[in-house]
Structure 1
Amino acid sequence: MTNANSQPLAPLDLVPLPIDAVLLPAEGNAVSPREMVLEALQARLKSQNLNWTIGPALDLNNPQRLLSLNQIAVQLLTCGFTTDVIPVPLAHWYRDGAAPQLLVVGRIDEESQVVHIPGLLTGEEFRQWFREVQEDQKMTADSELEVPISEFKGGMERLLTFVQLLQPGAISRKELVGSSAYSGPITSVLDWLTGNVDEMLLDLGGRLIPATAGTFRSAVDASVEALAVLAIPMGLDDGQLYTGQTAQKCIERFQLLLIPSGTDAINQLFVRLIAEQTGDLLPERLTLQAKQGDWKQEKTSATDTALELVFENGQQPIEVKVSYPDSKSVTLPALEIPQ
Structure 2
Amino acid sequence: MTTFDLHDSGPELIPLPAGAVVLVGQEVGVGLRRQLALAALRQGLVERQLQSLSLGPTLDPEDPDHLLSLNGIAVQLACGGLTSEEIQVDLSFWRRAETAPQLVLAAAVDGENQVVHFPGVLTGKEFVDLAQGASADAAAAIPLAIDKFRGGFERLLTLALLMQPEALPRLALPKAAVTPIGSGVVNVLDWLEGRLAEALAGLGASLQPVPAAAFRNLALAIPEPDQALAVLSIPLAISNGALVCGPAAREAIERMQLLVIPSGSEIASTLLLRIIGDTPGALLPDQLTLTAQQGEHEQSITSNDSTSLDLRCPACSLSVIIRLTFADGEPLAPIPPFLLLPDQPLP
Structure with higher Rg: it is: 1
TM-score, with structure 1 as normaliser: 0.48
TM-score, with structure 2 as normaliser: 0.47
